[in-house]
C-alpha cells in the first residue's frame, strides 16, 4: 500500500518560480524529479532534484556569458523532456522571460513570435528544425543566438553556416556555478505565452511569477497532490495547462514527472510508468473512448451488454457515493462487473490512477460518464491562458461532471452582461505583450477579466453554457477563429458560403455551398455529371476542394486545417431560414439542417 504524504512548499517562501525550484531542491535533493525514455539505451532514465539543479547551473552560466539582461526573452522549442524544465529554470533564475513555442507549429508562425517578442536566445530541438525556421526568418534580427539542444550524430548536428547557431555540447560549460535563491520580484514578468485569437496572428499573454505560483497553489486547495504521486506528462509544455499543472504544481508538491514518448506510445508508457495523475485535453480521453467502442463492435452481443451494464451500474454507484441518489439493488452486481469489465480498463491506464484532469476544451458528458462509471477518477476543469490558466476544477470528493467545477481559492467570479463569466484573482494576466488595445478589451478598468464564455453558477459550481466570442475550441485545446477562416475561404470564387465546424472535435471540417454558375465547369473537369447529386460526394473532387482550402488558409496556424468537407448547391438564404436579414449565416440552424452531413464527416 502506498503511504500518501504532503510536502508542500509555501509560495511565500518560494516567491518566484525559480525560487520554488531552489526550495524544492533543498527540500528533496535525492528524490526523483523527472523520468524520460532514452532512445539510445532504450531505457527509462531518471534525474533527482539535485541532479537537475546541477544541469540548471550549467545552462544559467552559459546564458550569463551571452550577456543577457533581466527581462530579455528566451524561447524554447523542444519536445517534452527534462531539458525543457532545465532551460526554463536557468532563464528564470537570471530574471529572463521565457517564450514557449509549439514543436508542431508552422515555421512562419514561430518566426512571427520570435520577432514580436524580440527573442535574444532560442533553444531548439535539432539542426533540421533550425534550418527550416531559419529559411523563414531570413535577415530578421531575432534571435541573436540559437542553441541546438540535440547535437547527436544522426540528428544533423552541424547547425549551418549561420554564426548564430551552436550545439549545446559546445556552448555549455562542463560544470556550473551554484547560486543562492534570487531575491526576485514575484510580480515581475516570467513568461510570454502566445495564444491565437480572432485574428490570424497570435497574441502574447504576459504572466508573472506570482500569477503561475498562485494558480498552482490554488489548484492544490481543490485537488490534493502528494510527494508520492507520479505525473505522466504528454501535453506540450508550451501549453499553459501542462506547464502549470504538470510542471510547477508537482514542484510545489515534490511529485515525480515522467515524460511520455508520444501519443501513439501512450498506452505503453501508461503500463511502464503506472502514473497516479495525468493532465489531459478531452481529445486524449475521446481517443481511448473511441478505441473501446471500436473494440466492442467486434465483440459478441453478450460482451457488449455486459459492458453497458457495467457502465450503468458504475454510474449508479458514483451517484450514490456522491450523495445524489439512494442505494439500488443493482449495486450488488458491481463486484462482478468491476472484475470482468472495469478492472481491465483501469489496468490499461497503469492500475494506479488517482486523479485524471481534463481541461482546455469541453469534455463530452458521455465520455466522462463511461470513464467515471468504470472507476476512473476523471474530473473536468476550466481556464484560459490569460488566467495562468486554471479558474475552476471539480473536487475528487464531489465531482459534478456536467460542470467545470468550483473556483480555485483566491479567485472570484461574477456573471456579467450576456451571461458572460468574468473573473478576478491573482492569476489574471498582466496583459498582452505590446498590445494595450487587446488588453483593454479583455480586462476592464475595474480589474475583472472577461472570459468570453457564457455561464451559470449553481451551488458554487460553474456550468459553461455557450461562447460569446466567435472562437472554436478543438478537443486538444487549440482555438481557431471560424469567422476569419470563413472570410478567407470565401475569397475563392468557387465557395459561395462556408461554415467551419470543430467545436469540441479533434479536427476541423467545413460545410460549403458551391457557386452554382461555376459548378458545371468544375464537374466537367472532374468527369462528373453536374445534374447528378452523387457527384458532390466524389473523392477526387473533395481532395481538390481541400487543396484549395489549404491554399486559402496559409496565413493561419498549422492546426487551423480543414480535414473533411461536405458540398452542397443549395444556398443558405433568408427564405429558407438559414440567413438573417443582415445576411449573416444562422450557424446553429445550418448545423441543425445539415447535422447528418456533419456527423458523416466525423464518423465515416
The pLDDT value recorded for residue 321 is 94
If we measure between CA atoms, which residue out of 186, 168, 150, 128 comes closest to residue 78? 150
The pLDDT value recorded for residue 247 is 98
pLDDT digits (tens, 9 = 90+) for 159-205: 556 889 999 999 999 999 999 999 999 999 999 999 864 344 789 99
The pLDDT value recorded for residue 581 is 46
The pLDDT value recorded for residue 297 is 78
Would you say the CATH fold of 481-603 matches that of 190-471? no
The pLDDT value recorded for residue 279 is 95
**Residue appearing with cell numbers 486559402:** 552
The pLDDT value recorded for residue 197 is 44
The pLDDT value recorded for residue 604 is 76
The pLDDT value recorded for residue 196 is 61
Angstrom distance (rounded) from CA 489 to CA 493 = 9
CATH number for domain 190-471, candidates 3.40.50.12780, 3.40.50.1970, 3.40.640.10, 3.40.50.720: 3.40.50.12780
CA distances from 412 to 128, 334, 405, 427, 438 (A): 46, 40, 13, 11, 22
Tally Cβ neighbours within 10 Å of residue 82.
19
- Below-70 pLDDT ranges, the chain: 1, 152-161, 196-200, 469, 580-584
Bridge partners for 35 per DSSP: 46, 258
pLDDT digits (tens, 9 = 90+) for 304-325: 999 999 999 999 999 999 999 9
φ, ψ dihedrals at 454, nearest 5°: -85, 145
The pLDDT value recorded for residue 1 is 67
If we measure between CA atoms, which residue out of 315, 308, 317, 368 comes closest to residue 341? 308
Bridge partners for 450 per DSSP: 422
The pLDDT value recorded for residue 128 is 94
CATH number for domain 17-184, candidates 3.40.50.980, 3.40.228.10, 3.90.180.10, 3.30.70.100: 3.40.50.980
If we measure between CA atoms, which residue out of 546, 385, 408 comes closest to residue 479? 385
Q: Is 582 exposed, middle or buried (0-12, 13-18, 19+ CB in 10 A)?
A: exposed
If we measure between CA atoms, which residue out of 236, 192, 182, 229 comes closest to residue 212? 192
The pLDDT value recorded for residue 484 is 77
Quick one: how far is CA 437 from the chain centroid?
A: 26
Angstrom distance (rounded) from CA 93 to CA 347 = 41
The pLDDT value recorded for residue 245 is 97
Angstrom distance (rounded) from CA 269 to CA 37 = 9
CATH number of this structure's domain 481-603: 3.30.300.30
Helices within 180-300 (DSSP H only): 209-220, 240-243, 249-253, 266-273, 282-297
Bridge partners for 498 per DSSP: 512
Domain boundaries defined on the chain:
17-184, 190-471, 481-603
Give the pTM.
0.82
Amino acid at each position: 500500500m502506498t503511504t500518501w504524504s504532503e510536502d508542500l512548499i509555501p509560495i511565500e517562501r518560494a516567491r518566484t518560480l525559480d525560487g520554488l525550484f531552489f526550495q524544492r531542491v533543498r527540500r528533496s535533493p535525492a528524490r526523483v524529479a523527472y523520468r524520460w525514455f532514452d532512445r539510445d539505451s532504450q531505457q527509462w532514465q531518471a534525474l533527482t532534484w539535485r541532479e537537475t539543479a546541477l544541469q540548471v547551473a550549467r545552462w544559467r552560466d552559459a546564458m550569463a556569458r551571452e550577456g543577457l539582461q533581466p527581462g530579455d526573452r528566451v524561447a524554447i522549442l523542444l519536445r517534452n523532456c527534462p531539458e525543457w524544465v532545465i532551460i526554463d529554470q536557468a532563464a528564470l533564475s537570471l530574471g529572463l522571460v521565457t517564450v514557449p513555442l509549439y514543436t508542431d507549429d508552422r515555421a512562419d508562425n514561430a518566426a512571427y513570435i520570435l520577432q514580436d517578442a524580440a527573442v535574444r536566445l532560442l533553444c531548439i530541438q535539432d539542426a533540421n528544425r533550425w534550418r527550416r525556421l531559419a529559411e523563414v526568418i531570413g535577415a530578421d534580427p531575432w534571435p541573436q543566438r540559437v542553441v541546438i539542444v540535440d547535437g547527436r550524430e544522426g540528428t544533423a548536428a552541424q547547425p549551418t553556416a549561420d554564426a548564430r547557431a551552436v550545439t549545446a555540447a559546445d556552448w555549455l560549460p562542463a560544470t556550473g556555478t551554484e547560486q543562492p535563491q534570487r531575491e526576485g520580484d514575484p510580480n515581475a514578468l516570467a513568461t510570454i505565452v502566445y495564444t491565437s485569437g480572432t485574428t490570424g496572428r497570435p497574441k502574447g499573454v504576459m504572466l508573472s511569477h506570482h500569477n503561475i505560483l498562485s494558480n498552482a497553489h490554488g489548484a492544490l486547495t481543490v485537488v490534493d497532490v502528494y510527494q508520492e504521486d507520479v505525473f505522466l506528462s504528454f501535453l506540450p509544455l508550451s501549453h499553459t495547462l501542462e506547464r502549470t499543472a504538470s510542471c510547477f504544481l508537482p514542484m510545489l508538491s515534490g511529485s515525480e514527472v515522467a515524460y511520455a514518448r508520444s501519443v501513439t506510445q501512450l498506452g505503453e508508457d501508461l503500463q511502464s510508468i503506472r502514473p497516479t495523475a495525468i493532465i489531459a485535453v478531452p481529445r486524449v480521453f475521446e481517443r481511448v473512448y473511441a478505441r473501446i467502442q471500436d473494440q466492442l463492435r467486434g465483440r459478441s452481443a453478450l460482451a457488449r451488454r455486459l459492458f453497458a451494464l457495467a457502465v450503468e451500474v458504475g454510474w449508479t454507484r458514483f451517484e450514490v457515493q456522491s450523495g445524489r441518489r439512494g442505494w439500488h439493488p443493482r449495486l450488488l452486481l458491481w463486484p462482478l462487473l468491476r472484475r470482468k469489465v472495469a478492472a481491465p480498463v483501469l489496468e490499461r491506464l497503469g492500475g494506479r490512477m488517482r486523479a485524471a484532469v481534463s481541461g482546455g476544451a469541453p469534455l463530452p458528458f458521455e465520455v466522462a460518464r463511461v470513464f467515471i462509471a468504470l472507476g476512473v477518477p476523471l474530473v473536468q476543469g476550466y481556464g484560459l491562458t490569460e488566467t495562468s490558466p486554471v479558474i475552476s476544477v471539480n473536487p475528487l470528493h464531489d465531482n459534478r461532471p456536467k460542470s467545470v467545477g468550483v473556483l480555485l481559492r483566491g479567485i472570484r467570479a461574477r456573471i456579467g452582461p450576456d451571461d458572460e463569466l468574468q473573473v478576478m484573482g491573482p492569476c489574471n494576466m498582466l496583459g498582452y505583450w505590446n498590445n494595450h488595445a487587446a488588453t483593454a478589451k479583455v480586462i476592464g478598468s475595474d480589474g475583472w477579466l472577461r472570459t468570453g464564455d457564457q455561464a451559470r453558477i449553481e451551488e458554487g459550481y460553474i456550468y459553461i453554457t455557450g461562447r460569446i466570442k466567435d472562437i472554436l475550441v478543438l478537443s486538444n485545446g487549440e482555438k481557431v477563429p471560424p469567422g476569419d477562416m470563413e472570410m478567407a475561404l470565401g475569397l475563392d470564387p468557387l465557395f459561395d458560403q462556408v461554415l467551419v465546424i470543430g467545436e469540441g472535435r479533434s479536427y476541423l471540417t467545413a460545410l460549403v455551398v458551391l457557386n452554382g454558375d461555376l459548378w458545371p465547369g468544375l464537374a466537367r473537369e472532374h468527369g462528373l455529371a453536374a445534374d447528378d447529386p452523387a457527384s458532390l460526394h466524389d473523392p477526387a473532387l473533395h481532395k481538390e476542394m481541400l487543396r484549395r482550402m489549404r491554399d486559402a488558409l496559409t496565413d493561419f496556424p498549422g492546426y487551423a486545417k480543414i480535414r473533411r468537407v461536405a458540398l452542397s448547391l443549395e444556398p443558405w438564404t433568408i427564405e429558407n431560414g438559414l440567413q438573417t436579414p443582415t445576411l449573416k449565416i444562422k450557424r446553429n440552424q445550418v448545423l441543425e439542417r445539415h447535422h447528418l452531413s456533419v456527423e458523416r464527416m466525423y464518423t465515416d
